[in-house]
Chains A and B, each alone.
Chain A
Amino acid sequence: MKKRIPLFIVFLVGMLMIIQFFIPHRLSVTFYTGFLNWFTAMVLFALIIGIGTLLNRHFKKIKRKDDDWGFSIVTITGFFGMLLIGIFGGIGEGTLFMKLFEFVLTPLQATMFALLAFFIASAAFRAFRARTFEASLLLIAALIVMLGRVPIGDKLTFGFASTLTEWIFRIPNMAAKRGIQMGIALGMIATSLKIIFGIERSWLGSDD
């Protein structure tokens, strides 16, 4: 019963969602958007639990005086600071909330993302060795596209790189992407159907 009811709910909700796709009637639309609003209502409570697990972890670190426990204070202060500033100071233009967004969150996100420039260079250096036939293909395609994407590279190859880049994107790359995409679509549908029909029950924990 502890498993049967949830499995039945999954089946019911899943089937309703499939059926409503075929019904253009207002009722179906209302039903659907109503459901979506439900998730907006539900997500907050999950978030509260989520935040609880994070804070709990950091409080424990502080209490136990683990390594780096001082940094846990930074996280906790950062969270409550931002939350209270937002709740009491508002979140519109010109508020402290937006200032913190602009001068703390923005540089942090942007810099974290910018690390990718370094990592892509080092990954390219390590991985792009003509060890096997497949690896050589990867290497050559990557080199051509890199040259084809910038004006200088194109000049160096007398326009050859950009023409070939365009060709690679339109023909082999497209074929590969389509093949992968179709496979993924099949996989997604299979996974969804497995779950709806209760063939896959592992999301409930053990399925045996």
Chain B
Amino acid sequence: MDIIKKILHLDRRIIFLTLFIVLLITPFIHLEMKINITNPTRRIFNDVEEMSEGDPIIVSMSYAPFAKPELYPMTLAFLRHCCMKKLRIIFVATNEAGMSIAIQAMEEIKMEFEYEHGKDYVLLAFNPVLSAVMLGMGESITDIFPEDYYGNKTKGLKVLKDVNDYRDIKLLMDFSAGDSPVWWVVYANTRYNQRIGTGVTAVMAADFYPYLNTGQMIGLINGLKGAAEYETLINHTAEATEKMTSQAIAHIVIILFILIGNIAYFIDKRNKRKERHGTA
């Protein structure tokens, strides 16, 4: 009986340790897993696929490094796709650390696709007043961002040639760990009809289903699984696909803990009932 009580009031550090050990081992295990592609991911892919060379798109970096494990793989996969299609990429950040991540991502792929800052892509400066950025770009991108991240004048940059406001932008893709996609919808889609796609953490994804249904967002890449899907779509297996194994095993471990907890709870409840009957 003692063990039941112990399980019910299990020291949470035992759960912590189990999980840590499991995740330390799983990266060395390789399981083949078939990744089925969900519709919202495919819609983003198709949208990019249909664009033609030189089309400008805005990529909004709305996450800080803490969300990198979940969002960086999909950011890379998406940017890779843009580079394959030779699109002009305009980075904005709704998070002060977003630009640093954009820099890192472009460093990783710009050699391969011969992308140049100012010519094929541009990092615009960060402005902490989000609504100002989101609305301002509906009027004039170069006005709201007079300078890019490195302090160059944005007017006259080759990548921004003939790009004035949202009307020139084919797609605004927001990678976000928060609710910034909602703000893009509120400010850019509601006011300026900008097409919006998002890549979000799995947590936030559930929140955006209504916006997908309403068409306020054209598509959505959902967490690491979504990144794995995008990697499959562009035929470039990377990080996300590899991590699905660890993911699956960790899920099973947590489910086992919940089951054990419930079994212990029911045994305990039955024992108590027995005791009560015994004394009565």
Contacts and interface: CB of A to CB of B under 8 A. Distances in A.
A190 interface: no
Contact of B136 (A33, A39, A93, A178): A33
A146 B249 CA distance: 11
Contacts of B135: 32-33, 36
A120 B35 CA distance: 25
Nearest to B257: A125
Given A109-B65, A121-B15, 11 more contacts: A29-B139, A39-B132, A109-B64, A110-B66, A122-B16, A129-B265, A130-B265, A150-B251, A152-B249, A169-B209, A173-B206
A84 interface: no
B132 A37 contact: yes
Interface of A: 29, 32-33, 36-37, 39-40, 43, 92-93, 98, 101-102, 105-106, 109-110, 112-114, 117-118, 120-122, 124-126, 128-131, 139, 143, 146-147, 149-153, 169-170, 173-174, 177-178, 181
A37 B20 CA distance: 47
Contact of A177 (B150, B210, B255, B257): B210
Interface of B: 10, 12, 15-16, 19-20, 23, 31, 33-35, 64-69, 97, 100, 103, 127-129, 131-132, 135-136, 139, 144, 149-150, 202, 206-207, 209-210, 213, 225, 244, 247-255, 257-258, 261-262, 265-266
A114 B244 CA distance: 17
A50 to B, nearest CB: 14
A33 B132 contact: yes
Contacts of A36: 129, 131-132, 135-136
B252 A152 contact: yes
Contacts of B210: 174, 177-178, 181
Nearest to B150: A92
B65 A106 contact: yes
Given A110-B69, A150-B251, A177-B206, A118 B127 contact: no
Contact of B66 (A29, A102, A113, A152): A113
A40 B129 contact: yes
Contacts of A43: 128-129
Contacts of A131: 265
Contact of B225 (A101, A149, A152): A149
B194 to A, nearest CB: 16
A147 B100 contact: no
Q: From B16, B206, B254, name the one whose CB has the most chain A CB atoms within 10 angstroms.
A: B254
Contact of B209 (A39, A143, A150, A170): A170
Given A43-B128, A101-B97, A113-B67, A125 B136 contact: no
A147 B250 CA distance: 11
B62 to A, nearest CB: 15
A113 B72 CA distance: 15
Contact of A153 (B131, B136, B213, B248): B248
Given A122-B16, A150-B251, A143 B258 contact: yes
A131 to B, nearest CB: 8
Contact of A125 (B15, B139, B202, B250): B15
A39 B129 CA distance: 7
A57 B97 CA distance: 27
A129 B209 contact: no
B255 A147 contact: yes
Contacts of A126: 12, 261
A118 B129 CA distance: 34
Contacts of B35: 151
Given A37-B132, A39-B129, A173-B206, A125 B225 contact: no
6 contacts: A36-B131, A36-B132, A102-B100, A130-B266, A152-B249, A177-B207
